[in-house]
């Protein structure tokens, strides 16, 4: 074997040739002395107008490596020349990417002008900040969504995830959070669309252009129709951009990801294509490592915070799925969306008993907030315990105390629903953003019996309790002439 030439001219990068192509996985043969390192980038010098970027994943022997493609390999043939870049995949960062929609390697996809040549670039692979440099936070990130602010308060500089199956409203909830937060958020927003539909990306871009917040936002997409390598690394691209604003410009960053399960799913596809033996339920054996490598980089340091809000698809509504449990272990706030809630028309369909937050502590949110949240949770829990009895025997068979609890729990359920701004075009109901103080006052009033004589429908899909009071008064006024005429 020839010794590696340590004095080789770095301006003359090593080249190899394509040996095999299996979908998104490509084998490349190099000279033994020039085998590129793991996670380094390769450029395929083919005759297509768009460049093909590969990332090294394993060394098969002293001359052959196996890499994952970030773009489609359709038309790629054996014998095509491949050039090593000498470093990992790097993406553009900085103020030049604000207001732009980028793909996994940082190419603009919004039909806008090319990025300036002097745009700084950073590797998508980085270590998390040292533990001694990281800062914890107990500042509550008020969202304006009643059930979240009351029962699962989010931390500013923390990580929150929304778990739910198909069709229960994860993307709608993320879109509402974007609309509610970005307008009043002073920092930079970075959105990662991982394995999502092209339509959703187009809608988000159009909405942000219309709301005037696009100039402080970066959109990164690895879409559903792209190869698994693009979906697998899109999250790292978005995180790299967020880290630049945190570390170099010392700005707060709001990082939104939809959907983190697609990141895991793409990793499982790549792992299978690389020939690794699957682990539990067919997932990649490196599942915990890959999720940790992503989540541990989402951290706040002195002077700048990264607040992450992530949507997580739950396959077949199985919350014991390895991907779901692995992701949830890294979260400060876990918001569980329930299909049963959605089926009953309670939107946002957040399960108040399964959801949790580390910030729901009297030392953080205060005694009044904590006591109100616990009282609401207890009432809803007792209502759920009695649900089977009520369905079999009716509410009349319950004791007086339980009947009162059920009455107030049903009103709390309806009060915790809320019309969203992003759904206004479909429902015709104007969206509402509710301050935490109004949410606490409304729940406290319902628990104290102020709404016991109200119609349940008066509390459904309203903002504050004053809105519900007005709705009840209007309903009674509408009924009064009818009653008089009947008499």
- Catalytically active residues are 170, 196-197
Please say whether the beta carbons of 85 and 44 come within 8 A: no
Phi–psi pair at 112, nearest 5 degrees = -95, -175
Q: How far apart are CA 306 and CA 244, in angstroms?
A: 11
Structure tokens at 340: 């049963």
CA 39 and chain centroid, separation: 25
Tally of residues, the chain? 487
Secondary structure of residue 236 in the 3-state scheme: helix
114-118: long-range contacts, CB 8 A cutoff, minimum separation 24:
none
Q: How far apart are CA 114 and CA 107, in angstroms?
A: 8
DSSP-derived pairing of the beta strands 217-222 and 253-258: unpaired
Q: What angle do CA 274, 277, 281 make, to 5 degrees?
A: 115
Secondary structure of residue 314 in the 3-state scheme: coil
Q: How far apart are CA 127 and CA 400, in angstroms?
A: 59
Could you tell me which of 140, 163, 160 has the C-alpha nearest to residue 369?
Answer: 140
CA distances from 99 to 92, 96, 110, 189, 215 (A): 13, 8, 10, 10, 4
Number of Cβ within 10 Å of residue 92's Cβ equals 23
Q: Tell me, what DSSP letter sits at residue 256?
A: E
Phi–psi pair at 427, nearest 5 degrees = -100, -25
CA distances from 50 to 76, 96, 297 (A): 12, 22, 31
Structure tokens at 328: 């949830």
In 227-254, which positions are buried (b, 16+ CB within 10 angstroms) versus exposed (e)?
bbbbbbbbbbbbbbbbbbbbeeeebbbb
């Amino acid at each position: 074997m020839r010794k590696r030439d340590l004095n080789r001219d770095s301006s003359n990068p090593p080249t190899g040739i394509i040996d095999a192509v299996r979908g998104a996985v490509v084998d490349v043969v190099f000279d033994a002395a020039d085998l590129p390192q793991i996670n380094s980038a390769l450029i395929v010098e083919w005759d297509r107008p768009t460049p093909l970027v590969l990332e090294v994943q394993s060394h098969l022997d002293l001359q052959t490596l196996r890499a994952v493609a970030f773009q489609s390999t359709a038309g790629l043939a054996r014998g095509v020349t491949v050039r090593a870049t000498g470093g990992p995949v790097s993406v553009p960062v900085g103020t030049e990417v604000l207001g732009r929609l980028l793909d996994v390697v940082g190419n603009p996809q919004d039909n806008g002008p090319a990025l300036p040549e002097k745009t700084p670039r950073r590797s998508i692979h980085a270590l998390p900040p040292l533990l001694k440099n990281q800062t914890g936070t107990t500042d509550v990130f008020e969202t304006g969504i009643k059930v979240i602010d009351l029962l699962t308060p989010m931390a500013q500089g923390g990580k929150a995830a929304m778990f739910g199956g198909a069709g229960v409203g994860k993307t709608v909830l993320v879109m509402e959070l974007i609309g509610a937060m970005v307008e009043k958020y002073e920092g930079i927003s970075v959105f990662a669309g991982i394995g999502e539909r092209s339509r959703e990306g187009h809608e988000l871009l159009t909405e942000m252009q219309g709301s005037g917040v696009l100039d402080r936002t970066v959109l990164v997409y690895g879409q559903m129709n792209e190869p698994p390598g693009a979906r697998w690394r899109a999250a790292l691209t978005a995180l790299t951009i967020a880290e630049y604003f945190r570390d170099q410009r010392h700005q707060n960053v709001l990082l939104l990801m939809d959907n983190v399960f697609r990141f895991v799913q793409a990793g499982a596809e790549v792992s299978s294509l690389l020939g690794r033996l699957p682990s539990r339920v067919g997932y990649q054996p490196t599942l915990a490592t890959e999720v940790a490598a992503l989540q541990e980089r989402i951290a706040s340091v002195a002077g700048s915070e990264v607040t992450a809000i992530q949507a997580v698809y739950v396959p077949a509504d199985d919350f014991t799925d390895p991907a779901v449990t692995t992701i949830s272990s890294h979260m400060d706030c876990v918001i569980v969306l329930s299909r049963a809630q959605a089926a009953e028309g309670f939107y946002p369909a957040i399960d108040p008993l399964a959801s949790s937050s580390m910030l729901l502590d009297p030392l953080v949110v205060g005694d009044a907030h904590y006591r109100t949240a616990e009282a609401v949770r207890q009432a809803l829990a007792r209502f759920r315990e009695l649900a089977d009895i009520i369905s079999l025997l009716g509410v009349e068979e319950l004791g007086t105390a339980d009947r009162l609890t059920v009455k107030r729990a049903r009103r709390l359920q309806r009060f915790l629903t809320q019309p969203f701004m992003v759904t206004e075009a479909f429902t015709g109901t104007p969206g509402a953003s509710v301050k935490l103080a109004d949410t606490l006052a409304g729940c406290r009033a319902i628990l104290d019996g102020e709404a016991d004589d109200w119609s349940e429908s008066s509390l459904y899909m309203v903002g504050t309790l004053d809105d519900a009071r007005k709705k009840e008064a209007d309903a009674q006024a509408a009924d009064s002439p009818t009653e008089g005429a009947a008499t």
